[in-house]
C-alpha cells in the first residue's frame, strides 16, 4: 500500500459551521495536522454551498440561483461573481495560513453525477435527464477542476494534493431514484459503464490523488475503483458489502471512514468510535498494521450542521481515534 498520508491520520469531510474562513482554517490546521483540508462554509449563503461552489469552477457554463436551486444561465451574473469571490477569499486565506504545508492536503469538489442530479437545465429539469447536458457538464467540470488544482498547487507549492469528489447522489443515479423536477416521476437510471466512464474522464483530467466521497447507502465500490478512485470516503455505519470492501482493500484502495456523526452528539471514547472498523478489519483477515495505513478517520459527513464547539471537538476526536488505530498496529 502506498498512500500520501501517514499511518494513523485523520481528516474532515469538507463542510464546517460558521462564516470565517481564517478562523476555520486555523482550527483545521491545528486539529488535523497529518491531513488538513480546505474547509467549506455553506452558512455564507449561495455560492458557498457544495453545488454552487463547484458550479463556479465550470468552464464556459454559467449558473444562477433560482427558487428551485442552481440552473444553467445564458451568461455569468451576480451569483457567479459572488461564488467566485467566496472561493477567492478561501484560497487567499489558504495561501496566507497554509502556504508552507509540506505534507498531504485535501480539497473537495462535487462529482459530475451529483452535480448533474442537482443543477437544472434552462427548461427547469435536472441536467441528469439529458445525456448531452451530462456530457457537456462533465467535460466542463474536468477542465475547471484541473485549473482549480493548478491554482491550489501554486499557492501550496510544497503540499501533495488530494482531490475529493463528493458523489452522494451516485447510488440514486444508478438505481433510478433521483426525482424529476416536478417530483412526480424518477429520472431513468444510468448504466454503470456510462457512470464509470464519465467519472473516469473527470478524475483522469485532474493531476492529484483522487478520492470519491459517498455518504449514502449502496456505495458502488467496484465502479469507483474502476473509474480511478484511489480511496473512497464513506460512513462507517453504512458498511455492508464486506466482500466488495475486502476486494478494494486487496487492490490497494484507501478508505476514509466516518466514525462519528456530523451533528452534535455526546461522543464516546475514541476506542469505542473505531471498534466497528477494527472488528471489520479482523473479519476480513487484514493485519492491524494495514488498518492504520489504509484507513483515515473522519466524521461521517460534513460538519456544517454542527455547532462550532462540537465541530472542533469532532476533529480532535477523529485525530485521537486515528491514534488508537496506530497504537493497535504497533502493538500487533
User: Which band of pLDDT confidence, cut at 50, 70 and 90, is reported for residue 329?
Assistant: confident
User: CB–CB of 28/39 below 8 Å?
Assistant: yes
Radius of gyration of the chain, Cα coordinates, nearest whole angstrom: 19
pLDDT digits (tens, 9 = 90+) for 179-233: 998 889 999 999 999 999 999 999 999 989 999 999 888 999 999 999 999 999 9
Q: Return the HEC string of the chain.
A: CCCCCCCCCECCCCECCCCCHHHHHHHHHHHCCCCCECCECHHHCCCCCHHHHHHCCCCCCEEEEECCEEEEECCCCHHHHHHHHHHHHHHHHHHHHHCCCCCEEEEEEECHHHHHCCCECCCCCEHHHCHHHHHHHHHHHHHHHHHHHHHHHHHCCCCEEEEEEECCCHHHHHHCCCECCCCCCECCCCCHHHHHHHHHHHHHHCCCEEEEECCCCCCCHHHHHHCCCCEEEEEHHHCCCHHHHHHHHHCCCEEEEEEECCCCCCCCCHHHHCHHHHHHHHHHCCCHHHHHHHEEEEECCCCCCCCHHHHHHHHHHHHHHHHHHHHHHHHC
User: CB–CB of 92/85 below 8 Å?
Assistant: no
Q: What is the pLDDT of residue 163?
A: 98
What cell numbers appear for 115 in the block? 452535480
pLDDT digits (tens, 9 = 90+) for 266-313: 999 999 999 999 999 999 999 888 999 999 999 999 999 999 999 999
Q: What gap in Å lies between CA 273 and CA 258, rounded to an integer?
A: 9
What cell numbers appear for 150 in the block? 493548478
pLDDT averaged over every residue in the chain: 96
Q: Is the pLDDT of residue 331 over 70?
A: no
What cell numbers appear for 199 in the block? 467519472
Give me the residue spans of the domains in the chain: 1-18+233-238+251-332, 45-229
Q: What gap in Å lies between CA 52 and CA 306, rounded to an integer?
A: 21
Q: What is the pLDDT of residue 181?
A: 87
User: Which band of pLDDT confidence, cut at 50, 70 and 90, is reported for residue 2?
Assistant: confident
The whole-number average pLDDT for the span 36-50 is 97
Dihedral (C-alpha) 179, 185, 188, 192: value to the nearest 10 degrees?
40
From its phi and psi, is residue 208 left (phi > 0), alpha (psi between -120 and 50) or beta?
A: beta
- Which of the pair, 287 or 316, is modelled with greater confidence? 316
What cell numbers appear for 214 in the block? 459517498
Q: What gap in Å lies between CA 290 and CA 195, rounded to an integer?
A: 30
- Which of the pair, 9 or 328, is modelled with greater confidence? 9
pTM of the prediction? 0.96
Amino acid at each position: 500500500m502506498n498512500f500520501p498520508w501517514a499511518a494513523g491520520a485523520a481528516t474532515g469531510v469538507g463542510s464546517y459551521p460558521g462564516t470565517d474562513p481564517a478562523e476555520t482554517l486555523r482550527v483545521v490546521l491545528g486539529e488535523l495536522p497529518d491531513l488538513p483540508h480546505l474547509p467549506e462554509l455553506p452558512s455564507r449563503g449561495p455560492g458557498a454551498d457544495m453545488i454552487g461552489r463547484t458550479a463556479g469552477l465550470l468552464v464556459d457554463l454559467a449558473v444562477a440561483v433560482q427558487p428551485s436551486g442552481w440552473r444553467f444561465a445564458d451568461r455569468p451574473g451576480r451569483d457567479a461573481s459572488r461564488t467566485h469571490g467566496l472561493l477567492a477569499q478561501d484560497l487567499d486565506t489558504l495561501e496566507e495560513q497554509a502556504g508552507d504545508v509540506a505534507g498531504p492536503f485535501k480539497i473537495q469538489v462535487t462529482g459530475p453525477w451529483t452535480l448533474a442530479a442537482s443543477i437544472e437545465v434552462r427548461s427547469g429539469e435536472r441536467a441528469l435527464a439529458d445525456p448531452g447536458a451530462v456530457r457537456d457538464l462533465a467535460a466542463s467540470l474536468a477542465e475547471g477542476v484541473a485549473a482549480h488544482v493548478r491554482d491550489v498547487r501554486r499557492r501550496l507549492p510544497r503540499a501533495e494534493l488530494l482531490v475529493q469528489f463528493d458523489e452522494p447522489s451516485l447510488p440514486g443515479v444508478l438505481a433510478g431514484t433521483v426525482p424529476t423536477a416536478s417530483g412526480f416521476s424518477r429520472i431513468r437510471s444510468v448504466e454503470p459503464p456510462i457512470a464509470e466512464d464519465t467519472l473516469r474522464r473527470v478524475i483522469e483530467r485532474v493531476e492529484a490523488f483522487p478520492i470519491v466521497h459517498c455518504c449514502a447507502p449502496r456505495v458502488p465500490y467496484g465502479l469507483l475503483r474502476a473509474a480511478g478512485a484511489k480511496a473512497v470516503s464513506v460512513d462507517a455505519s453504512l458498511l455492508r458489502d464486506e466482500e466488495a470492501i475486502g476486494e478494494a482493500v486487496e487492490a490497494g484502495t484507501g478508505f476514509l471512514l466516518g466514525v462519528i456523526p456530523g451533528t452534535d452528539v455526546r461522543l464516546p471514547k475514541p476506542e469505542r468510535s473505531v471498534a466497528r472498523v477494527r472488528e471489520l478489519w479482523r473479519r476480513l483477515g487484514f493485519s492491524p498494521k494495514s488498518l492504520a495505513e489504509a484507513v483515515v478517520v473522519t466524521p461521517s459527513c460534513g460538519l456544517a450542521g454542527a455547532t462550532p464547539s462540537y465541530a472542533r471537538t469532532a476533529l480532535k476526536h477523529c485525530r485521537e481515534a486515528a491514534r488508537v488505530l496506530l497504537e493497535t498496529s504497533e502493538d500487533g
